[in-house]
Structure 1
Amino acid sequence: MNDSPSGPTNLAQDSANVAVQAEAIHGPVNVYQVAAAPSPEETFEVGLNSLRAGMAPEAREHIRDAVVLRNYVNGHSCFYLLLALLSGRTLQQVPPNEIAMLRCVRGAVRDDDEWADAIKLVDHLLTSRPPEGGAADIEQELQKLTDEQRNDVLQHMEMFLDSSAEDALWARAFDAARSDRRAKDRLRRAWKFFQPEPIGARVRPADPVLIGLGTWTGATATSALALATVGFIGATAWQHSGTAALSALLALAAGCYASVRSGVEWRCRKERRQAKDREDLRRPATTRGDGFASKIDRQFNHYFALYTPRDADQARWLSETAGVRRALRDEVVTIYRESTVNAKRVAWLTRYLVADVARRWQAGKLWDYRKELRVPLLVKAMCVLAAIAAAAAGAFLVWSGAHVSLLLVSLAALVAVASVWSAARVWLRIVAEYRRHSADKAEKEGLLAGRQEAFDRWKRKLADRPDDLEMARWLECDRKALMEQAMGLYRLKRQDVLAHAFIEAPATPFYDRARVEGGPWRYSKYKILLFLLTKDGVRQLTVHLDFQKATFRSRARTNYRYDAFTSVQVAETDNGENVFELTLTNGDPIKVKVTDPPTDVTETEDKDPQGASQLTLGTAGLGNALHVLEGVAAEGKEWIAFERQREKVPLAEVSKAVNAIFA
């Protein structure tokens, strides 16, 4: 890029569309929401959290409510009321009615209050223009503050570090940012913020026993008829053969029982194996659109490709597991679709299922069920031999009975064969269905136990998810780090920077986003634009921030004169998108999409998508950037001098109101 200020240079590719990779809403966490009947202390606490999260307008509202309207007045509340009024804007942007709020706490703070020094330092930063030695004086005042007070002053008074002490102040701010940027184990924990709250483990319930009334009626009728005809034949045979007929009757009963029992085992194993084989033959169907099923489809396709077993041919792996993939996908869609949940909330289950398939496939155990369900030769032999034995015993009974009454026994034999055959088939079906249900239920219980363990592991992994205030602090440190890089890159001292502004936007093409209920969207990847106004022109530095790794990349430098501005605007589309556009006299406009509409959460999860968009817009630094850039576009370089002149009146009013706080 051109480093000289002789002419405008810009990047046109920034107007590319932004695609959301995933998003989540965490809540309720009661960080930025007040209770139904909150106390003044609770209202103030919500305001303080909002301030530290970068939501200055919301912070002003809550803190004003607590301090001015509900008389929660002390040094602590007065200090943060003052910071909330000044945070993220210049004195020109502070309306007179808000300055007047400070008069409502006149005489509220004593000089020996632990917050008195912090309030006095704010006044000194607003009003002092000391010559040599000023830096040392302000440094001494900073040393009196606690770390909490010092960090809050450096963060929210950023626009007012405008004195001979500012190099020392910014050096301190940069040191604090370097120290805190990776604090609290950011590199290990930051990614967890973008993970949605997982939904609990489920399995598709075992299919119920499907035995209708007709089947039970048929079983009862055929069994009764079989018992009657066999009993008649047995009684008739007794008259001819005596105890031999009784032995044959017992052998017939035992043979039928053994044959049916082994037959049930045979049938259950065969049908269960066939059902599982049919799953292996199912091919994945292609689903389109952004519905729940299509998102689950993409999850399975992604993780099956990602979890390809080591040293395995991916094409072979995907081909051999296509049916399993389809069966698992269908199950997940079926058991979670009715909840209308965000598909990302079941991603943990998809990962677990795919990892389990990959582990069994690599160990050669994916098709172990074929061995386990193979019908043993002993079972087949038992079924056949028992049937033969029963048939032989029955034939002996018929032969014996025929000696007594040939016609009646012959007719009874025909009816007995038909009824026994029918009864055996019906009872085989009934018993096999109950066995199937029992086996399915046991299998589902085992699957649920495994999934519950996976769910518990994932919950434990997310247990130390960072809160929104930590995310806001890390992002503030990233901004300070970028400011330090820019000043080093352009070889500027803080006095050389007449004004500056940030714009934070989600980075294209893919990113994760998440927010707590009532908070702004946080992004896993940011595109940050830093504008430095110097006496020679505007220095623009554009970087991409990988928030989870705390690294900058794709740095682009752009420089232009003050008279190169044509217009600055933010356009809001019908679906809630906000696009920042800076037009220069030469070249295509610089466009940055600052906020996106919700794309992957359900209506139930996101109760106020427009409100979330506005909160995000407020924390993106757009308000101050527009104030600065619109002023330059309208008045050129003279805007800076004009701004200083315009600030004199509100500066005097603020200073007077601050001094009146002390008793």
Structure 2
Amino acid sequence: MTGPEQRVTNSADGSARVGVQAGVVHGDVNNYTVSPDAAPEEKFRTGLRYLEGGMARRARELIYAAFAAGHRTDEVWFHWLLALVSGRTRHELSDEETASLRAEPGGLRRAGDGAWMDGVRTVRRLLNCAEDPRADLRAVFKELDALGETQKALIVRHLGTFLEGPLHDQMWDRGLARARREWRARNRSGRCWKFFEPEPLAPRPYEPPPPRTPSVVLARVTAPAAVTGALALSLGSTLLTSGRLLGFLGYLVGLVGCYRTLREVMARRLRAALRDPVRPAPRRTPAGGFARKVDKRFLHYFAKYTPPGMERGVWMEMTAGVRQKIRDEIVHTYRESRVGVGRIDWLIRYRVSEVRERWRNGPPEPPAPSSAAMLGAVALLTVGAVAILTDAAGDAIAALLTTAVAAAFTVRVGLDIAMEHRRHAIERRESRRMLAADQAAFLRWRQKLADRPQDREMAAWLDCDRKILLNDALRHYKLAMSEIIAYGFIDFPAPATSRARVRGGPWRYRDYEIMLFLLTRDGVRQVTTELDFEVGEFSGGQRANYRFESIAAVRVRQTAGQPWTFELSLVNGQHITIPVDGLGVEELQQGEVPGTVAEATLDAAGVHHTLHMLEGIAASGKRWGDRAR
């Protein structure tokens, strides 16, 4: 190993890394699922999707199965040739696979206008030129450039690793030029993040809890209310039958005043309750449970959406009541559905943003009751009482006082019951309003996610990133592509990153750590860097150099309860151990076969090819490099 440039940490404690987050699986996308008894053409089309997704191993299996079952077209043969060599060097092929490259299959049918057969001929000429140093490269590349855009792009993408010498240089130049054009094409930064968003769950109506009126309270108010009603009727009857018209008119005015006074009192109490909601008691929720995850999302978004100019602590304190109320509603509505909190993340975010918008437009204030209305109600009540006292006899006055005492006791308890029913009516009305607003927000969010990239686009962007990184390494080491004996990548998730996949497909990550290994005449060059996949930007970077004879062993392994690790052992006893959390995680959906997701992820990450290359160096040293050349 070299000295000054060596900046790789020799070991990494797995406990020091934060594992990748729970993944998103787009279960409605079935690009990579095919039944064993599927028709040959269906197997072929699925194999094509594997090839586009950067998983050549599985692509070879399916395309060959389709061909062997009788689906023999020039399109199938073209893709079979590319799948054989994609991401591999010449010595990785078995004798049977090498023979397949040279074989002339019989019974081929033309698919389309003959463009696929033109592609087959060009691939075979390129492979022949790789073995003939006297071949006319200008002629074969002229033939390549004359192909259709589809065939040319596929050849440039999949054939590069397999070629050698000047042929490799020219193919590399074309591949790099294409990578630079497509690196951030198709609005990558504006669409890539959507792949990691789960399919949103539609809003559901929230049914507020019914009025809380215990039977004991009802019993306490029923008898006084009956007595009050009977006394009030008796008082009115007494005034009417005794001919006390002024007193009876006062009685009627007093009833109106009593009703309006009670209504104004209740309005003021409701306003106070809405302005200053009761601070809920802290809730203890199980760690890792649905409610705890909802709590974390609410805290995150309320902190994120703090109004400008307001301190975060003040905002969190002021909104504690409404935050708990909305949180309880969402937990109550969605808890029993066994959905991941990610699927309602849009709803939490929208509800929090609405609270902030309402606050920015002025703190939400319930309509202020009119002071004049309250004074008028009290005035009516007073006038009625005075009229009765002025015109009534002693027995009527006694009845009035008795009725007033009974009414006071009834109102004391009954007002709470009326308030509770009024609360329920207001909450039901607010729930209907929020459901309509939630549905509109849901449709907007669905529309925003409508152009979510397909898995093949994610694979194509990653392939471009690899080429950009490889070109940077070649420039740093001042090497031409023809001076590289072989190269390989291992892509693994960065700590605490988001991940997502389609059904049956490999995990894709929002942030990667990428290791690039270059085999040259002087040994192995290793580059390790971080990739922000959403925008295709690299950051950081570590480099190390090894002599061929320095590598003793290399492997990717997993022990019980521990993350997968990449281990590179050197002959001097040093070990480079890097946890590659997430490569072996599957989180299978219904119908998925155990092992298929992990295998697809390892294949897409380049693990198989790179391990084959490094294991060859560990076993044979420089002789492996000489044999590869």
When the two structures are superposed, what TM-score results if normalisation uses the length of structure 1? 0.83
Matched with 2:455 is: 468
CA offset at residue 173 of structure 1?
0.7
Contact 1:56/1:84, CA 8 A, preserved across alignment: yes
In structure 2, relative to structure 1, the CA distance for the partners of 1:34 and 1:390 (3 Å cut) is farther
What does 1:245-644 correspond to in 2, within 5 Å? Answer: 245=245, 248-249=247-248, 251-274=250-273, 276-279=275-278, 281-282=279-280, 289-363=287-361, 365-366=362-363, 368-369=364-365, 372-392=366-386, 395=389, 399=393, 428=415, 431-508=418-495, 510-574=496-560, 577-586=563-572, 588-596=574-582, 610-643=595-628
User: Per chain length, whose mean CA-contact separation is higher, i.e. which structure has more relative contact order (CA < 8 Å, sep 6+)?
Assistant: 1
The whole-number CA distance in structure 2 between the counterparts of 1:257 and 1:217 is: 27
CA offset at residue 144 of structure 1?
2.7
The whole-number CA distance in structure 2 between the counterparts of 1:333 and 1:93 is: 54
CA offset at residue 277 of structure 1?
1.4
Q: Does 1:122 align with 2:116?
A: no
In structure 2, relative to structure 1, the CA distance for the partners of 1:35 and 1:635 (3 Å cut) is closer
| Identity across the alignment (%) | 37
Using the TM superposition, name which of 520-529 and 189-198 deviates more: 189-198
In angstroms, what is the RMSD of aligned CA positions? 3.6
Matched with 2:32 is: 32
Contact 1:579/1:593, CA 8 A, preserved across alignment: yes
Contact 1:270/1:373, CA 8 A, preserved across alignment: no
Alignment partner of 1:20: what SS? Answer: coil
CA offset at residue 595 of structure 1?
4.4
Alignment partner of 1:311: what SS? Answer: coil
The whole-number CA distance in structure 1 between the counterparts of 2:390 and 2:66 is: 101
CA offset at residue 394 of structure 1?
5.5
How big is each residue's C-alpha offset from its partner over 1:515-552, in whole Å with a ceiling of 9 and x where there is no partner?
11111111111111111111111111111111111111
In structure 2, relative to structure 1, the CA distance for the partners of 1:266 and 1:185 (3 Å cut) is same
In structure 2, relative to structure 1, the CA distance for the partners of 1:344 and 1:76 (3 Å cut) is same
Q: Which amino acid aligns with 1:490?
A: Y
The whole-number CA distance in structure 2 between the counterparts of 1:167 and 1:440 is: 71
When the two structures are superposed, what TM-score results if normalisation uses the length of structure 2? 0.87
Structure 2 residue runs of 5 or longer lacking an equivalent are: none
CA offset at residue 490 of structure 1?
1.0
In structure 2, relative to structure 1, the CA distance for the partners of 1:288 and 1:640 (3 Å cut) is same
The whole-number CA distance in structure 2 between the counterparts of 1:542 and 1:88 is: 19
Contact 1:25/1:605, CA 8 A, preserved across alignment: no
CA offset at residue 45 of structure 1?
1.7
The whole-number CA distance in structure 1 between the counterparts of 2:587 and 2:161 is: 39
CA offset at residue 59 of structure 1?
2.0
Contact 1:506/1:593, CA 8 A, preserved across alignment: no
In structure 2, relative to structure 1, the CA distance for the partners of 1:419 and 1:146 (3 Å cut) is same
Matched with 1:63 is: 63
Using the TM superposition, name which of 20-29 and 613-622 deviates more: 20-29
The whole-number CA distance in structure 2 between the counterparts of 1:238 and 1:534 is: 115
How big is each residue's C-alpha offset from its partner over 1:191-213, in whole Å with a ceiling of 9 and x where there is no partner?
12112222223464333244577
In structure 2, relative to structure 1, the CA distance for the partners of 1:265 and 1:469 (3 Å cut) is farther
Contact 2:583/2:602, CA 8 A, preserved across alignment: no
How big is each residue's C-alpha offset from its partner over 1:151-175, in whole Å with a ceiling of 9 and x where there is no partner?
2222222331124311111111111
CA offset at residue 9 of structure 1?
6.9
Alignment partner of 1:466: what SS? Answer: coil
The whole-number CA distance in structure 1 between the counterparts of 2:587 and 2:618 is: 41
Contact 1:109/1:116, CA 8 A, preserved across alignment: no
Matched with 2:133 is: 131
Using the TM superposition, name which of 536-545 and 374-383 deviates more: 374-383
Contact 2:247/2:392, CA 8 A, preserved across alignment: no
CA offset at residue 75 of structure 1?
0.9
The whole-number CA distance in structure 2 between the counterparts of 1:348 and 1:382 is: 48
How big is each residue's C-alpha offset from its partner over 1:352-373, in whole Å with a ceiling of 9 and x where there is no partner?
233333344445x22x32xx35
Q: Which amino acid aligns with 1:549?
A: V
CA offset at residue 88 of structure 1?
3.0
Contact 2:267/2:369, CA 8 A, preserved across alignment: no
The whole-number CA distance in structure 1 between the counterparts of 2:387 and 2:214 is: 33
The whole-number CA distance in structure 2 between the counterparts of 1:429 and 1:487 is: 79
Contact 2:73/2:110, CA 8 A, preserved across alignment: no
Count of residue pairs the alignment pairs up:
624
The whole-number CA distance in structure 1 between the counterparts of 2:161 and 2:23 is: 32
The whole-number CA distance in structure 2 between the counterparts of 1:603 and 1:266 is: 59
Contact 2:72/2:107, CA 8 A, preserved across alignment: no
Contact 1:264/1:432, CA 8 A, preserved across alignment: no
The whole-number CA distance in structure 2 between the counterparts of 1:9 and 1:437 is: 66
In structure 2, relative to structure 1, the CA distance for the partners of 1:621 and 1:597 (3 Å cut) is closer
The whole-number CA distance in structure 2 between the counterparts of 1:627 and 1:603 is: 28
Alignment partner of 1:309: what SS? Answer: coil
CA offset at residue 301 of structure 1?
2.7
Structure 1 residue runs of 5 or longer lacking an equivalent are: 403-408, 645-663
Q: Which amino acid aligns with 2:425?
A: S
Using the TM superposition, name which of 161-170 and 622-631 deviates more: 161-170
The whole-number CA distance in structure 2 between the counterparts of 1:104 and 1:394 is: 116
In structure 2, relative to structure 1, the CA distance for the partners of 1:375 and 1:35 (3 Å cut) is farther
Matched with 1:156 is: 158
Contact 2:179/2:468, CA 8 A, preserved across alignment: yes
In structure 2, relative to structure 1, the CA distance for the partners of 1:437 and 1:138 (3 Å cut) is same
The whole-number CA distance in structure 1 between the counterparts of 2:437 and 2:532 is: 35
The whole-number CA distance in structure 1 between the counterparts of 2:158 and 2:613 is: 17
The whole-number CA distance in structure 1 between the counterparts of 2:434 and 2:530 is: 43
CA offset at residue 148 of structure 1?
1.7
In structure 2, relative to structure 1, the CA distance for the partners of 1:587 and 1:259 (3 Å cut) is farther
Contact 2:271/2:368, CA 8 A, preserved across alignment: no
In structure 2, relative to structure 1, the CA distance for the partners of 1:539 and 1:259 (3 Å cut) is same
How big is each residue's C-alpha offset from its partner over 1:288-347, in whole Å with a ceiling of 9 and x where there is no partner?
733333333332333333333323333333333334333333333333322232222222
Alignment partner of 1:590: what SS? Answer: strand
Q: Which amino acid aligns with 1:399?
A: A
The whole-number CA distance in structure 1 between the counterparts of 2:565 and 2:509 is: 17
CA offset at residue 609 of structure 1?
7.3
In structure 2, relative to structure 1, the CA distance for the partners of 1:564 and 1:21 (3 Å cut) is same
Contact 1:307/1:358, CA 8 A, preserved across alignment: yes
In structure 2, relative to structure 1, the CA distance for the partners of 1:392 and 1:424 (3 Å cut) is farther
Alignment partner of 2:181: what SS? Answer: helix
Matched with 2:187 is: 185
The whole-number CA distance in structure 1 between the counterparts of 2:380 and 2:525 is: 94
The whole-number CA distance in structure 2 between the counterparts of 1:251 and 1:353 is: 52
Contact 1:22/1:511, CA 8 A, preserved across alignment: no
Matched with 1:648 is: none
In structure 2, relative to structure 1, the CA distance for the partners of 1:259 and 1:158 (3 Å cut) is same
In structure 2, relative to structure 1, the CA distance for the partners of 1:338 and 1:252 (3 Å cut) is same
What does 1:17-56 correspond to in 2, within 5 Å? Answer: 17-21=17-21, 23-34=23-34, 38-56=38-56
The whole-number CA distance in structure 2 between the counterparts of 1:426 and 1:333 is: 32
Contact 1:4/1:559, CA 8 A, preserved across alignment: no
